[in-house]
Structure 1
C-alpha cells in the first residue's frame, strides 16, 4: 500500500500535469485564433493569428518555458495513461522548438495555403476568405466579429509580407515555379464589387432570426470594409509578390538550396513520418514499393482484357471518354451516390462509428485549378459544421471514374472522417490529443483505408481496383520524387517524368502534386510510411491471434486513442495483442 506521502506526491504530479496541459491548450487556442474558430470556439472570432516576428519569437520562448516546467513533473509518479499524455505533450513542444531553428515561418505563402488544419498553421493570404465557409453565422455578434476580422486583414497581410521580405533577405524563399501560381489566385479576388468577394459570403446567407434592418446595416459595413481594407491589402500583396518576391526567388527546386537545407529536410522527414528514417532510406523504400505495385498493376491490367503494355494502358485510362463524366454536376452526383453506397458496408469492419455526419461538396472554384482531386475538412468540435469531403469538379474530363472509390475511402469514410471525428469524440482524452494530428498516423490511416475496398466489396470492377493501385502507386512515387527533389537535387521535370512513367493519373493532377511537394517538403512522405506501419501491425495481430483476431476490435484500438506517433501506436497494438492472447477464450471472433 502506498504511504500517504507517496500518494500525495502522485496526486501532485498528476494535478500539475493536468493543469499545465489544460492551461497550454487554452494558450494555443488564444494564440491561434483562426484554428480556434474552425474548431467552433468563438472567443477570438474577431482576430487573425499574430504573425509578427516579435510574436513568433515570443511563442518560441514560451515553448522553451513549457519544456522547463515539464521537467518538474515527476513522470514516475504518473499513471500509465498520464505518462503517455506527458510524453506526447512534451514531444509536440520539442518538435516546435527544433523546427524554429530552420525559420520555416519565413515562407508563409505557397500556392496551396488554405484554412488552418492545425495549431501553428495559419491560413494563407490568398485563401483566407475560405475561413468564412467554416464558421457559424447565427447571431449579430457572429457577423460583427467577422467585420472586426475584415478590419484587421490589412495588418495580417502586412505581417505576412514582412515575413516574406525577411525570407528574401535570408534567401529562404519558395521556388519561382510554384510562386507564379499565386498572382492569379489573388487577381481573382481583386473585385470591383465587394459583394463578389469571398469575404462577403456570410452576408449572402443571413438567418431569418436577424432583422432586415440589421442585415442591411451589417452588409453595408462589410461592403465598406472589403472595398477600403481587404481589396487594397490584397493589391499590396499582389504588387509585392509580382514585383519583389517572385523575381527574388530561385528557379531551382528543392530545399537543399536553403540555409541548412539538408539538415532541415532530414528534420521534416523525421517530423512528418514520426520515425528515424533518413531521406536515403525513404527514397529506397519508395523505389521498392513502386516495383511491387507495378507488378500488381500488370496483373490487374490483364484482368481487364487490355492488350498492350502498361504505359499504353496508362494512356488508355487517361484518354478514353468512357472513364470520365461530361460535367462537374454529374461528377458531384456520382461522388455523393458513391458515399451513400459505402456508408452501410462499414459495419462489417468497424465496431465504433462517429456520431458526426459528413457532407460531399465541390471544391471552391477559386482554388480548384491549383489543388488536387479531393480533400477533407474535419467537423467542428461543437457540432455546428459536419465533416466536409471536397471534390474537385474543375475540368471533369481530367477526373477519371476509376479513382473515385479509393479517393472517397481515403478522404471521407472510413478514412479522415472516421479518424478525426472519433478522436474528437474521445472526451476522456486531453484536448491536445483529441484534436492533435500526426500526419503519418492520419494520412497513413486514410491510405490504409483505400485498401479496405477489397473487404467491402468495392473493387469487383478491375478498373476500380486498378484505381486503388494507382493511388497506392501515387503515394509510393511520392517517396521517390519528394526525396528526389529535396535531398537528391532532382529537377522538377525529373519528378514529373518519373510520376508520369509510373502512375496513370492525369498530367494536371501530377503537376499539381509535384508542385505541392515543392511547397511542403517532407509532408508527402508520411502517407506511405504510415500505411505500411498500420498494415504491418494488422498482419502481426492476425498472425498472433489467428481465429481470435477481430478486425473491428483492431480498428478500435487504432482509432480510439486519437492521433499517435507510429512508434506509440505500435506499442499500443502490441499491448492489445498481448492482452488478447492472455484473455480466456470465450466466443469466436468475427470480421477477419
Structure 2
C-alpha cells in the first residue's frame, strides 16, 4: 500500500499530517533523534523545526507511525473529531509561519530545497483544506476507511505482550473512531459530496468480507495468529480470549454500525456518477489534484491530449510485436488468443505467488549493472487479504524503520485466473526492484536528508519511477521473449489510457461505461479488472495521472544526459542522481539532473 492509499485507508487527510511534517509521507521517525545539521543559526532552526514537525506527525497520526516502524504510539488511533482536525490545521499554519521566519538565503542549497518542499506541501494542503466536502470522501474502491483497521493490523507487531495489549487498546478506541468518520461523512453529505454508488458497493463488500463468523479468523484479528514465541503460552491464550471478546463487543458492532449508516443513509444519496465536475467546487478541486499529483502546471485537457498521443504510440508498438509473432488477425483477436490460452495461467494462487518470487530472484543479481548502490532493506512477496477481492490491484508496502519489517509486494492471489504469465515480469519490476522497493528503501537510507524527505512521497516521482523501472527490464534481461515484451507494452498502455480516462471522467464528461469500454478495447484487459480500475479513478482522482507523466520525465532526462555526455554517460551514476534526493517534484528533479550534467562536462575526460 502506497502512502496516498494508506491515508485513504486510515481515513486521514494528507493535510492533517503535513502540519506535522509528513509531506504526504509514509511514516514518522522510529524514535531516534533527527540529525541536526551543523551550520549557522538558520540551518539549526530549520532542522529543529523539521524534527519537531516529524515528531508531531507520529503523535497526530499514530497509525501512520506504525506503518513506518515507529511503535511508540501503537495503543492509539488518530483524533478525527472536528476539534482534532482543527488542531491539525492550526499546527499546519503555525509550522508555515515559523518556517517562513527562517531566512532562506542563509541556507545551503540542499537545505533551501528542503525548505521549499516543506513550505510548498503545507501551502498546497492548506489550499485543499477549505473543501470540507472533498475531505470527507474516505471510502474507496480498493482502499478506504472501511478496510483501514485490517490494514493496520497487518503491519502491527505482535512479538511481545505489550504489542498485543496495544492492539487491544486500539480495538477499544475503534468505536469512537467510527463515530468520528460517520460524522465526517454526514458533513460531506450536507455539502453535496457523497461517494458514487459503484465505489460504495465495493467498499461495502470489503466491509462485509471482514466480519467473519469466527471473529479470530477476521483480518482484524491477524496479529493474534502470529504471537511471538517469547510470550508464555498461557498469556498468549488469555490475550487471544481478550481479543475475541473485544472484537465481538467493540470492533464488530462498530463496523456493523458503519455498514448500517452507509446502507441506510449514505448509499441512498450516492450518485451513479462520481465525476468531480458534478460536485460543488469539484472542477477546482480536480484541477488542484491534477497539479498536486503531477507537480506540473498541466491542465486536465492537456493531460488528456498527452494521453491520446501516448496511446497511439503504444498501439503501434503492440501491433509491431503482434506482427513479429506472425499473427495475422487484429490486435484485439491477438490479445484474446493470449488470454484464452490455459498455458498462460497458473493453477492457483500459491503457484502465482511462486511465479512472482521466481521473477524477483532473476532481477536481483542483475541490478548492479544499472545502479552504483543498492538499498539494504529486504523485500518479499505475499498475498493480499481475501476480503480485497479478485479485482484489487497489486500494491507495495515500504520497509519499516524498526529494522524488523521488510518491504512487501502485496499480490492478489485470488486473481490467478486473470493474471497471464506474459504480464507478470513488468509488474514485479514495478512493485519491487528496480521499482518501488528500490526507490523507497534507498530514500530511507539517505541519512543526510531530514526525515520528511527520506519518508516523503510525491506521487509523480514514486509512481513515475516505478513505471520507468519497468522499462529497465529490457536492460536487465527480464523480457525474454516477445510475449513478455508484449506484456510490458500492454502495461504501459494501461497507464497511457489512465491519462485519457481519469481526465475524461472528471473533467470532460465521460461516463463510467464509456471509460471501461475504452480501456478494455485498448489494453485487452478483462472487464472485471478494468471496472475496478475505473472505480479506483473515481476514488482517487488525479492519482492515476502521475505514472506516465512521471515516467516520461525520467525517460526524457536520461536521454538528455546520455546525449550531452556521450561516452562519459554512466547510467549507474545517473540513477543515483535521480534517487539520492528522495522523492521530489519534477521541476526540482530536472534542475538536479541539469546541474549534474553541467558538473560532469567540467570534469576532465578519463
TM-score by length of 1: 0.94
Q: What secondary structure is seen at the aligned counterpart in 1 of 2:484?
A: helix
Report whether the alignment pairs 1:106 with 2:136: yes
Report whether the alignment pairs 1:552 with 2:581: no
Q: Which residue of 1 aligns with 2:447?
A: 427
Say if 1:418 and 1:32 are closer, same or farther in 2 by CA, change over 3 A. Answer: same
**Cα offsets for 1:164-201 (capped at 9, x unmatched):** 11111111111111111122222222233321222222
- Between 1:377-386 and 1:103-112, the stretch displaced more is 103-112
Q: Which residue of 2 aligns with 1:214?
A: 235
Q: Which residue of 2 aligns with 1:569?
A: 589
Q: Is the 8 A contact 2:142 2:203 kept in 1?
A: no
Q: What secondary structure is seen at the aligned counterpart in 2 of 1:247?
A: helix
Question: Partners in 2 of 1:48 and 1:578 — Cα distance?
Answer: 49
**Cα offsets for 1:351-404 (capped at 9, x unmatched):** 1111000001112111133411x2111011121110001111114221111110
- Between 1:35-44 and 1:185-194, the stretch displaced more is 185-194
- Between 1:56-65 and 1:378-387, the stretch displaced more is 56-65
Q: Which residue of 2 aligns with 1:31?
A: 60
- Between 1:308-317 and 1:147-156, the stretch displaced more is 308-317
* Deviation (angstroms), 1:548: 0.4
2:405 to 366, 369, 385: 385
Q: Is the 8 A contact 1:270 1:276 kept in 2?
A: yes
Q: Which residue of 2 aligns with 1:170?
A: 191
Question: Partners in 1 of 2:320 and 2:101 — Cα distance?
Answer: 59
Report whether the alignment pairs 1:152 with 2:173: yes
Q: Is the 8 A contact 2:141 2:532 kept in 1?
A: no
Question: Partners in 1 of 2:224 and 2:484 — Cα distance?
Answer: 42
1:453 to 473, 479, 484: 473
Question: Partners in 1 of 2:531 and 2:433 — Cα distance?
Answer: 27
Q: Which residue of 2 aligns with 1:6?
A: none
Q: Which residue of 1 aligns with 2:519?
A: 499
The within-5 A match list for 1:481-496 is 481-496=501-516
* Deviation (angstroms), 1:14: 1.1
Q: What secondary structure is seen at the aligned counterpart in 2 of 1:359?
A: strand
Q: What secondary structure is seen at the aligned counterpart in 1 of 2:554?
A: helix
Q: Is the 8 A contact 2:212 2:218 kept in 1?
A: yes
Q: Which residue of 1 aligns with 2:371?
A: 350
Question: Partners in 2 of 1:342 and 1:368 — Cα distance?
Answer: 29
1:439 to 459, 478, 483: 459
Q: Is the 8 A contact 2:391 2:415 kept in 1?
A: no
Q: Is the 8 A contact 1:189 1:231 kept in 2?
A: no
Q: Is the 8 A contact 1:436 1:563 kept in 2?
A: yes
Report whether the alignment pairs 1:82 with 2:103: no
**Cα offsets for 1:526-576 (capped at 9, x unmatched):** 000000000000000000000000000000001111111111010011110
The within-5 A match list for 1:497-536 is 497-536=517-556
The structure with higher relative contact order (CA 8 Å, sep 6+) is 2
Question: Partners in 2 of 1:222 and 1:393 — Cα distance?
Answer: 28
Question: Partners in 2 of 1:554 and 1:328 — Cα distance?
Answer: 38
Q: What secondary structure is seen at the aligned counterpart in 2 of 1:389?
A: strand
* Deviation (angstroms), 1:127: 3.8
Q: Which residue of 1 aligns with 2:268?
A: 247
Q: Is the 8 A contact 1:317 1:504 kept in 2?
A: no
Question: Partners in 2 of 1:204 and 1:66 — Cα distance?
Answer: 42
Report whether the alignment pairs 1:331 with 2:352: yes
Q: Is the 8 A contact 1:357 1:387 kept in 2?
A: yes
**Cα offsets for 1:445-489 (capped at 9, x unmatched):** 000011111111122310100111001100000000000000001
* Deviation (angstroms), 1:10: 7.3
Q: Is the 8 A contact 2:375 2:438 kept in 1?
A: yes
Q: What secondary structure is seen at the aligned counterpart in 2 of 1:524?
A: helix
Question: Partners in 1 of 2:91 and 2:148 — Cα distance?
Answer: 29
The alignment yields a C-alpha RMSD, in angstroms, of: 1.3
* Deviation (angstroms), 1:218: 1.2
Q: Is the 8 A contact 1:537 1:570 kept in 2?
A: yes
1:183 to 204, 211, 223: 204
**Cα offsets for 1:107-151 (capped at 9, x unmatched):** 11122226xxxxxxxxx2334212121122221111111110010
**Cα offsets for 1:472-531 (capped at 9, x unmatched):** 100000000000000001100110011011112222211111110011100000000000
Question: Partners in 2 of 1:30 and 1:125 — Cα distance?
Answer: 23
The within-5 A match list for 1:5-16 is 11-16=40-45
The within-5 A match list for 1:287-302 is 287-302=308-323
Q: Which residue of 1 aligns with 2:34?
A: none
1:69 to 84, 95, 98: 98
Q: What secondary structure is seen at the aligned counterpart in 2 of 1:41?
A: coil
5+ residue gaps in structure 2?
Answer: 1-37
* Deviation (angstroms), 1:314: 2.2
Report whether the alignment pairs 1:42 with 2:71: yes
Q: Is the 8 A contact 1:423 1:560 kept in 2?
A: yes
* Deviation (angstroms), 1:217: 2.0
Say if 1:86 and 1:205 are closer, same or farther in 2 by CA, change over 3 A. Answer: same
Q: Is the 8 A contact 2:215 2:248 kept in 1?
A: yes
* Deviation (angstroms), 1:254: 0.6
- Between 1:384-393 and 1:129-138, the stretch displaced more is 129-138
- Between 1:527-536 and 1:330-339, the stretch displaced more is 330-339
1:198 to 179, 201, 219: 219
Say if 1:186 and 1:10 are closer, same or farther in 2 by CA, change over 3 A. Answer: closer
Question: Partners in 2 of 1:111 and 1:557 — Cα distance?
Answer: 36
1:305 to 320, 323, 326: 326
Q: What secondary structure is seen at the aligned counterpart in 2 of 1:86?
A: helix
Q: What secondary structure is seen at the aligned counterpart in 2 of 1:276?
A: coil
Q: Which residue of 2 aligns with 1:223?
A: 244
- Count of residues in correspondence between the two structures: 568
Q: Where in structure 1 do 4 or more consecutive aligned residues deviate above 3 Å?
A: none
Q: Is the 8 A contact 1:191 1:231 kept in 2?
A: no
Q: Is the 8 A contact 1:10 1:77 kept in 2?
A: no
* Deviation (angstroms), 1:238: 0.7
Question: Partners in 2 of 1:308 and 1:476 — Cα distance?
Answer: 24
